[in-house]
Every structure is written in structure tokens, then in C-alpha cells.
Homo-oligomer: A and B are copies of this chain.
């Protein structure tokens, strides 16, 4: 375990390094107000900290740089999440007072604001609409064996899905199908869609619809909706380039390229159910992120996690500030969605 003094020094090194982006020497540290000992003492402690793996030295006559283990210890034990500065709080609050009718717009806005405030790359996942209940289904035939199914949820979210079937359906059949669907399916959560449709509808439809197979085909494609990938919104990917660690294009390119593969993001994105998750360097599953930190958290609707927000940057990151901002934003977004859903 680290002595209080070692913890103090580790803290100071990390906080300085996050600001300066350059190795921190003993002399510089000694200038801190809260550090009352001489450079020599600091040097001794630094040597110990390095031996224990919390610090590294880029080369013999340079200052010290926090290792991943160092950051980890800092995040786990040293960080005291204080109050966020008023200004940022006010600003964040103001963002959610705008009129935003569509969830998509909200998510985009959050991604932008997060990236602005942190000067890093922000990622917003979701919200999942799985748990939302269906309000209405509409089926619009396009002719030529195609149709669009439109699903509206309680909160006013709209999903559309194109369906195909082998032949023309009779207008009567379509009407019947829509009526039956709406009878059975309104109030059912999207995630339950498949089960409900199969268990409750088959019999009914077989009786009432002439072209039974087509009706089933329609159902089948409608059932793809709950299996869709979560939507992904990215803000400030170019902020990556402003970080000194990515001044070398070769370092930055794989990461930006990773961010372009939208559908892979939800695979490596840490999705803790609760609280704030911090993945430092090699803790990330993906090779491209070995020198990055991803901090994420959840936002909720009706107490249930429905999506995630996160910030991506170099391991040299202002953990304190980013965690404060994420935590605040998550709460604000949760509140917003709650208002949104209840008024909708």
C-alpha cells in the first residue's frame, strides 16, 4: 500500500502531467503548495513509486510519467469527485432546456456538447427502444409485394421497417392485419414483440386473413426491429488530433478509423449497468485503444438503463473533470428523457 505522502505525490504528478503533457520532475513538484518536502525527498519517493510500477520514466534523465497502474490507482483511490464548476453546470443545464422533439436530435446534441466540454471525443449509444411500449402499428402497402411497417412507441419514437412478401396482398387483408396487430400489440414492449406476435397472432390470423403466409412474412420482418443495433452518435472525433500523443498521424489514424466503423463501436464500448466505468489503456479490449482511456456511464428511463454515454481520449485525461461532466450529463439526460416520455 502507498503511504499518504506517496499518494499525495502520485496525485500531484498525475494532475500536473494531465495539464502539461510532459514528464514531471521533482523540482517542479516541489513548487506545489501542498507539497512541503524538498526535491530530494520527492526523488526518493518517486524512485519507490516507479519501482512499484505506478510511474515510468521515458528515459534516464527525464521526469516521471504516470503508468496505467498509476492512473488506475488514482481513479480508484485518490480521486474525490468534487462539485463541477458552476459555469459548466449552467451550460449543461441550458442544453436540455431547448426544444428537442426527437430522441435522435437529443443524442446528437449530447455528443456534441460532451465533446466540446471535454475537448475529447464523445460517444452516445442508444437509447434502446426495446423496453418502450408500442402505441400503434401502421402498415402501408407500396405495391409489388412491398410495404412499410411503421411502429410508434409510447414516448413518440418512430421505427420503420420495410417488408416484402411473395405477392400482392389484398387491401382487405392488409386492413385486417393492421387491425389485428393493433389489437394485440398495443402496450407490448418492443422487446416482447416477437413472442407476442407468434403466440397470440398466428391463430387469429389464420382465421381472418386470406393470404396467411404473407401475413406471417410481414410479422417476421417487423420482428427485426427489436434486434436492431443501438444507434451511435459521435462528436468531436477530430479533437483526437489536438492531443499531443496523437500528433503522430500513424497513432491517430487507427483510432479515427475505428470510430468510423459504426457498428463495431457497441462491441468494445464498456457498458456497465451502473455508475461510471473507466477503462484505462490495455483494459480496453481493442488493440486500437491500448493508449486510450474510455470513460462511460449509463442513462436511464424509468429506472432502466436505456443507453450509454462516454468520452474517449488518451490515457492522459482529466479524469476528474470528465467523470464529473459525464455523471452530470447522464443525470440530466435521464431527467430529460423522463420528462420527454411522461409528456409524450
B-facing residues in A232-255 (Cβ within 8 Å): 235-238, 241-242, 246-249, 252-253
Min Cβ gap A98→B in Å is 13
Residues of B within 8 A of A253 (CB): 238, 241-242
Task: Give the interface segment out of A139-147, A167-175, A302-310, A325-333.
Answer: A139-147
A146 to B150 CA separation, bound complex (whole angstroms): 18
* B249 A236 Cβ-Cβ under 8 A: no
A148 nearest CB neighbor, chain B only = B156
Min Cβ gap A278→B in Å is 26
A242 nearest CB neighbor, chain B only = B253
Residues of B within 8 A of A238 (CB): 253, 256-257, 259-260
Say if the beta carbon of A213 comes within 8 Å of chain B: no
Contact of A138 among B101, B138, B257 (CB under 8 A): B138
Min Cβ gap A25→B in Å is 27
Say if the beta carbon of A72 comes within 8 Å of chain B: no
A138 nearest CB neighbor, chain B only = B138
* A144 B237 Cβ-Cβ under 8 A: no
Say if the beta carbon of A152 comes within 8 Å of chain B: yes
Interface size for A (C-beta < 8 A) is 36
Say if the beta carbon of A43 comes within 8 Å of chain B: no
Residues of B within 8 A of A343 (CB): 143-144, 146
Residues of B within 8 A of A164 (CB): 101
Say if the beta carbon of A136 comes within 8 Å of chain B: yes
Min Cβ gap A231→B in Å is 12
Say if the beta carbon of A194 comes within 8 Å of chain B: no
Say if the beta carbon of A36 comes within 8 Å of chain B: no
Say if the beta carbon of A135 comes within 8 Å of chain B: yes
A102 to B247 CA separation, bound complex (whole angstroms): 39
* B144 A150 Cβ-Cβ under 8 A: no
B-facing residues in A109-138 (Cβ within 8 Å): 135-136, 138
A260 nearest CB neighbor, chain B only = B238
Residues of B within 8 A of A156 (CB): 142, 146, 148, 162
A39 to B257 CA separation, bound complex (whole angstroms): 43
Residues of B within 8 A of A252 (CB): 241, 249
Say if the beta carbon of A344 comes within 8 Å of chain B: yes
Residues of B within 8 A of A248 (CB): 249
Say if the beta carbon of A160 comes within 8 Å of chain B: yes
Q: Given contacts A101-B162, A235-B260, could you give 9 more A-B pairs where the C-beta distance is less than 8 Å?
A: A101-B146, A101-B164, A135-B142, A142-B156, A143-B343, A144-B344, A146-B344, A150-B152, A158-B158
Interface residues of A (CB under 8 A from B): 101-102, 135-136, 138, 140, 142-144, 146, 148, 150, 152, 156, 158, 160, 162, 164, 235-238, 241-242, 246-249, 252-253, 256-257, 259-260, 343-344
18 contacts across the A-B interface (CB closer than 8 A):
A135-B140, A135-B142, A138-B150, A142-B344, A143-B343, A146-B156, A146-B343, A150-B150, A150-B152, A150-B158, A158-B158, A235-B260, A236-B260, A238-B260, A241-B252, A242-B253, A248-B249, A249-B252
